Structure 1
Amino acid sequence: MIGRHLMRPDTMHAVLLTGHGGLEKLDYRTDVLIPQPKPGELLIQIAAAGINNTDINTRIGWYSKAVNEGTDTGGATGFDSVDDDDASWSGTPLTFPRIQGADVCGYIVAVGDGVSDARIGERVLVRNMLRTYVDFRPYECWTIGSECDGGFAQFVVAPARETHRVDCDWTDAELASIPCAYSTAENMLHRAGVGAERVLISGASGGVGSAAVQLAKRRGAEVIALSSVAKAEEVRALGADQVLDRNVDLVAELGTGSIDVVIDLVAGEQWPSFLDVLRRGGRYVTAGAIAGPIAQIDVRTLYLKDLTLMGCTFQEDEVFANLISYIEAGEIRPVVAKTYPLRDIAQAQEDFLVKKHTGKLVLIPPEVSS
């Protein structure tokens, strides 16, 4: 008996992360015990789970301050310099094995004490930045798939109050593209108060970047996107007003003081130019540094232009709730580049690192046999 709903079998297919390192640390198993929902939790049968940078960053220990390179450098093989003590979102060492996967789309199949049986059968998304487990304290959260088990499995438990029913005609793979990428993008725009302004978005063909393009357009912004030349038309189709090569000289192309808000997911060597193109009183917002976490700043640029720099991880409750309303109102739609069987997670992550796709790569677990 699981929760208040009889379930069989007792075990499930899941990918166990056995430690920080390369792709060899991903162990596909068929004998993992199905978790049981505690009071206030739900059991969800997973229909699809998207792949995100954070899944790879967590696996390779990229969040450790001992790592100075970009994600791609150690994405397949890991890093030799990782300090396990600070290699997570929270800075608290991970416990292994861990089932990763920040994106959870599925169907409620059982409930714990204190949760209505009426929720069984709902198609849901789980907020990826969970606040229940830290008593909703400001600027604290657990990332599903990092501080607790996530979506790379057939089943997962999640807090009922942070599991949202979604009514729409999207596929499961499309819905699974939303939690991490779209909440990250919406949070950046929300924190910066973006409106009908001129916005520059880096990494615009990726999961978060493509979400940011759509969500910024929804707010009435003029969007200038940075992407590879090969993906320019695809990014323009997302709604970008202008697409520039990601290696362009931004000051020469756009001019100093020409941008109201920079939404940055890349950082790396190009970082100083983002501040140069911001207008006086402009805002720079970041939630990623895939090209490298170490950047140089001329503090004179910061204070003489009255700039605001914002780092975004923690999300207020309304951010995810707003995304659900956008979905149900038909105001956004993700791009799914490709789906893979869950057992092919290593290949999917290799393809993710090559970055030849636009949008999201999504894993589909096997059907559950009764």
Structure 2
Amino acid sequence: MTRSLMKAIVTTGNGGYEKLVYKDVAIPTLQPGEVLVKVLAAGVNNTEINTRLGWYSSSVTESTNETADEDDTLQSSDGGWNKETPFPFIQGTDCCGQVVGAADGVDSDLLNKRVLVRPCTRESDFNSLDNIWMGSDFDGAFAQYVKVRASEVFPITCDWTDAELGTIPCAYGTSENMLHRAQLKAGETVLVTGASGGVGSATVQLAKRRGAKVIAVAGKEKLEAVAKIGADILLDRSADLLEVLGEQSVYVVVDNVAGSEFPTMLKLLKRGGRLVSSGAIAGPIVDLDMRDMYLNDITLIGTTVWDEPVFPNLVRYIEQGEIQPLLAKTFPLSSIAEAQQEFLLKKHVGKFVLIPPSDES
């Protein structure tokens, strides 16, 4: 490659959209075992907004939207995933791309392959939960090129567009990991909160794929779209879930909303039920009546680190036509602030995706 510079969004620190700077930066230099990926599409996620805002700091108690609306920006050394964020750096957790370079020791067969990048990397091996994330701990996909370990790229053969594939890694990986950890079985009933969002809509599809009965909770105006991806029962998020469903009515709750409705989720679970979560968009501080948990043998499962089968499973599901993409809208990479502003309105179903400029642009 003769070029030395690329376009990228550099996040310069905690704060508002002014911290997202579109500029020329050096194309990454490969180290042994790494590949260079030309980014074809990069999805937009809550996690990038949360990291920019410093929402992961233990000092934050509000929802993502409330934090984004604050007049005073948070400056916190633990504003990443309760550790220091490596500002300035390039965010971007989702990547569909093409391998265009390979360092020594990397299988040359990867060159020119269209790939999905697994953003959650185990630092040693799958026997340890120690991990780092692309776009949170090291430079990510909000750029024309990104470098990653060769072990984290997965060639994929399908008729999906680049943008459609760009909806997959973070949302579907997070969802598949939750269902894997919760051991959701065919015939079980699962309640999915926030079912119209990226992770929620992925969970509806992946739970149906496992043969579960899916109860989806979302805004009234989005329920029709959620029905099209397989939800069996549709409930408006303002519904009284205990009144409609009754106590001890579901086997598994997948709850990335949290906030004030968290106590209800425990009461909905059958004895021996499981609640699994990887987020808290309505607020991280919740009420927990321990009696609802221990008297009913409830298992609470927190998930961030992905288990080994998760990403290969997703590639297989796509190639076998077992899931579908939910692409809400695409934006040029340079319009990231507009994309994040619209993202926070929560009027869309599925994922927003950023498209970097071509080399000729």
TM-score range, shorter chain: over 0.9
Q: Which residue of 1 aligns with 2:339?
A: 348
CA distance in 2, matches of 1:10, 1:114: 23
1:109-120 equivalent positions in 2, closer than 5 A = 109-120=100-111
Contact 1:58/1:146 (<8 A) preserved: yes
SS of equivalent to 1:351:
helix
1:160 paired to 2:155? no
Pairwise CA RMSD of aligned residues? 1.3
Distance 1:276 1:362, change over 3 A: same
Q: Which residue of 1 aligns with 2:60?
A: 67
Q: Which residue of 2 aligns with 1:46?
A: 39
Q: Which residue of 2 aligns with 1:367?
A: 358
1:227-306 equivalent positions in 2, closer than 5 A = 227-306=218-297
Distance 1:76 1:114, change over 3 A: farther
CA distance in 1, matches of 2:308, 2:152: 9
5+ residue gaps, structure 1: 1-6
SS of equivalent to 2:309:
helix
Q: Which residue of 2 aligns with 1:173?
A: 163
1:11 paired to 2:5? yes
CA distance in 2, matches of 1:246, 1:345: 29
Partner of residue 16 from structure 2, selected from 13, 16, 22: 22
Contact 2:99/2:113 (<8 A) preserved: yes
1:139 to partner: Cα distance: 1.4
CA distance in 2, matches of 1:78, 1:198: 42
SS of equivalent to 1:317:
coil
1:57 paired to 2:47? no
Q: Which amino acid aligns with 2:99?
A: I
CA distance in 1, matches of 2:107, 2:71: 43
SS of equivalent to 2:130:
coil
Contact 1:23/1:76 (<8 A) preserved: no
Q: Which amino acid aligns with 2:7?
A: H
Q: Which amino acid aligns with 2:307?
A: E
Q: Which amino acid aligns with 1:73?
A: E
1:115-194 equivalent positions in 2, closer than 5 A = 115-131=106-122, 133-134=123-124, 136=126, 138-194=128-184
Distance 1:18 1:158, change over 3 A: same
Partner of residue 34 from structure 1, selected from 10, 27, 33: 27
Q: Which residue of 2 aligns with 1:4?
A: none
CA distance in 1, matches of 2:7, 2:71: 25
1:134 to partner: Cα distance: 4.2
1:81 to partner: Cα distance: 4.6
CA distance in 2, matches of 1:124, 1:79: 40
CA distance in 2, matches of 1:140, 1:76: 33
Residue by residue over 1:102-158, the C-alpha shift from the partner in whole angstroms, topping out at 9 and shown as x without a partner, is 001100000011012221100001101112x44555111111101010010000001
CA distance in 2, matches of 1:105, 1:221: 29
SS of equivalent to 1:330:
coil
Residue by residue over 1:281-336, the C-alpha shift from the partner in whole angstroms, topping out at 9 and shown as x without a partner, is 11000111000000011111111111000001111111111111111111011110
TM-score by length of 1: 0.95
Residue by residue over 1:180-200, the C-alpha shift from the partner in whole angstroms, topping out at 9 and shown as x without a partner, is 000000000000000121000
Aligned pairs, number? 360
CA distance in 1, matches of 2:250, 2:343: 30
Q: Which amino acid aligns with 1:190?
A: H
1:274 to partner: Cα distance: 0.3
1:339 to partner: Cα distance: 0.2
CA distance in 1, matches of 2:84, 2:149: 22
Q: Which amino acid aligns with 1:262?
A: V
Q: Percent identity?
A: 53
Q: Which residue of 1 aligns with 2:80?
A: 88
Distance 1:286 1:78, change over 3 A: farther
Residue by residue over 1:172-228, the C-alpha shift from the partner in whole angstroms, topping out at 9 and shown as x without a partner, is 011111100000000000000001210000000000000000000000000000000
1:75 to partner: Cα distance: 2.8
TM-score by length of 2: 0.97
CA distance in 2, matches of 1:38, 1:136: 22
Contact 1:66/1:82 (<8 A) preserved: no
Partner of residue 209 from structure 1, selected from 200, 203, 206: 200
